[in-house]
Structure 1
Amino acid sequence: MTVIYARCPLVNFDQAEGLRRMLFNAKPRFVTFLSALSNEERNATLVNLSAGLGALGHDVVLMDARVNGTSCAKWLEVPIKTTLLDIARQKRSIKEATIPTSQGFKLASFCRSQQLTEYFPATELVLTKLDKIIVSLGNSVDIVLVDGELNDNNKLASDVLEDGQVVIQVTNHPDSIKAAYGLIKRAHSHCGRRDYGVLVCGVTELEAHRVFEALAHVAGSFLSVSLNLMGYIPDDDYLRRASRSGRSVIDVFPRAGASVAFSRLAQQMSGFNEFATSHM
């Protein structure tokens, strides 16, 4: 399996430079995933990518920044006792908010759904503390992958995350492509022009190429937005079987096609980190 790069006049031709800038320019490193997949697919993708990075020796935190009850924390059946919002309200320490998982990464949660009534009317002081806590969390690890969503104002959970990088998860179904463009359009309405990564899931290499070119065409034509193709994850029953057991496919079926894809994506992300360090 090889990662493909689309040749399209509306995307960056220097894909290596685009991915380097997208993933590794900012310190600390936050990569927020917005998804046009089903909840099961998006959670499995984030858990397995986190596991892949952890298997390479990286200190990884998967931050649950969704509050609708379908997030990675719920999918992993990990009880959240302390959230980042708790810390901002001086109720807990940041160490209590990062939970080691058996998959080789840590899990943190932005806030629980029942805390929403506390979060939205939060004082400016609490919000400022929350941003500082998120920065501190990012500085304490190699990378933070964020299970993110846009709120009613088309913003991410924190301004800190908006300063990081954003990746759109999409598959080859027309509704998913439409939803992915909708996410880019919504984020664009708040953040203005910026680059987005694209990770195509449940497809062949050729299908990933076609999905990316279609999405890049409309984003470039109507929003003047540049997209970078991160890669793709193939459709794989072994991935579904591992997900049903609550484990990563890399751990359960290390030679499966999906395992190879997640491992290579993790290696690619690590490789661009080394490139950025030696060329900046």
Structure 2
Amino acid sequence: MLFGAKPRFVTFLSALCNEEKNATLVNLSAGLGRLGSDVVLLDARQSGASVAKWLEIQIVATLLDVAHQKRTIQQATMTTSQGFKLASFCRYQNTMPDFQPTTTLVMKLNKIVEKLGNSADIVLVDGELDDSNGLATVALEEGEIVIQVTNHPDSIKTAYSLIKRAHGKFGRRYYGVLVTGVNEFEAHRVYDAMAQAAGNFLSVPLNFVGYVPQDDFLRRASRSGRTVLDAFPTAGAAMAFSRLAQQMTGIDEFASLHG
């Protein structure tokens, strides 16, 4: 993966349940914050099953409010107790999102997202593909995309479907793969199978980002509203998130993959 240029957006598309996806994003954001990175976790989903809802944080202002000149970008960026900042793309009103795009609004939102990226070291994005298989803004589409998957056949099938949908929209590009809930051997087995299928049928190159083992301490920390790095710092999941955070700050190492 290429983590060198600014703005540095890394969008996560997950083939797992929302609980597991949200725990991954929160713990990885906290891990990056512990390394001294200025991290923004951007909730860019419209489904309502987002990381902002999972954190039970009341959203005072969104980037859509900023685009409508009702709020400032500072008001739409909240500092969490876990050591990172949180921003939300839009609110949720029952099943109908309040984001109804026009060309002018889309351009404004893209500039706001770019500004958000330029104000931080890294922006982790809780993302989803829309009806046209795109992301929320062009700025996010030009950033990195990581597919989160586990070793269950349904998860692997969903992950491959996400890559196939994105490939139809963006063409040939790199995708990172993060395997969670497995040991290292199983993580590489899942990645190798996905890389072979994506290469053979789509000519899409994948990069192995890493893995997070199945760990009851992660679930226990999540249930108490804390990160596993804070609650159980010596747990296997905590060490895995620390490794991932260190990896994402290794700019030179990963830039060489695209050189």
**TM-score bucket of the superposed structures, by smaller chain:** over 0.9
Counterpart amino acid of residue 57 in structure 2:
V
The C-alpha deviation readout for 1:10-59, integer Å capped at 9, x for no partner, is xxxxxxxxx3x3x32x3200000000011100000000000000000100
How far did residue 127 of structure 1 move? 1.4
Instruction: Please tell me the residue identity of whatever aligns with 2:99.
Output: Y
CA RMSD, aligned part only? 1.6
Report the equivalent of 2:23: 44
- Superposition pairs of residues 192-203 of structure 1, within 5 angstroms: 192-203=171-182
1:271 deviates by 2.0
Structural mapping, 1:44-63, within 5 Å: 44-63=23-42
Query: Is the aligned partner of 1:235 residue 2:214?
Result: yes
Secondary structure at 2:86 match in 1: strand
Aligned to 1:140: 119
Partner of 2:167: 188
**Which residue pairs with 1:10 in the alignment?**
none
Counterpart of 1:200, as a letter, is V
1: CA distance, partners of 2:252 / 2:196: 28
Q: Which residue of 1 aligns with 2:104?
A: 125
Other-structure match for 1:179: 158
1:269 Cα offset (Å) = 1.1
> Residue 102 of structure 1 is aligned with which of 77, 81, 84?
81
1:6 aligned partner: none
Compared CA separation, residues 274 and 190, structure 1 to 2 (3 A): closer
Is the CA contact (8 Å cut-off) linking 2:30 and 2:82 kept in structure 1? yes
CA shift digits 1:177-223 (9 cap, x unpaired)? 00000000000110111000000000000000100001011111110
Distance 1:169 1:123 in 2: 31
- Partners of 1:247 and 1:117 in 2: CA distance: 29
Q: How many residues align?
A: 256
Give the direction of change, closer, same or farther, for the CA distance of 1:153–1:276 in structure 2 (3 Å limit): closer
Match of 2:63 in 1: 84
- Give, in angstroms, the shift of residue 240 of structure 1: 0.4
**Can you give the 5+ residue segments of structure 2 that lack an aligned partner in the other structure?**
none
Q: How far off its partner does 1:119 sit?
A: 2.3
Structure 1 position 264 matched with structure 2 position 243: yes
Please identify, of 107-116 and 190-199, the stretch whose mean Cα deviation from structure 2 is larger. 107-116
CA distance in 2, matches of 1:123, 1:225: 32
Q: What residue in structure 2 maps to residue 153 of structure 1? A: 132
The alignment's TM-score, normalised by the length of structure 2, stands at 0.95
Aligned to 1:165: 144
Partner Cα distance (2:130, 2:255) in 1: 32
Q: Distance in 2 between matches of 1:39 and 1:206?
A: 25
Q: Counterpart of 1:11?
A: none
Q: Is the 8 A contact 2:90 2:98 kept in 1?
A: no
How far the C-alpha of 1:274 sits from its partner, in A, is 7.8
- With structure 1 as the length reference, what TM-score do the two structures score? 0.88
Segments of 5+ residues of structure 1 without an aligned counterpart are: 1-18
The CA distance in 2 between the partners of 1:234 and 1:276, in whole Å, is 26
SS across alignment from 1:119: coil
- Return the offset for 1:118: 4.5
Residue identity (%)? 68
Select which of 81, 92, 97 maps to 1:113: 92
User: What is the CA–CA distance in structure 2 between the aligned matches of 1:129 and 1:46, rounded to whole Å?
Assistant: 26
Q: 2:201 aligned with 1:213, yes or no?
A: no
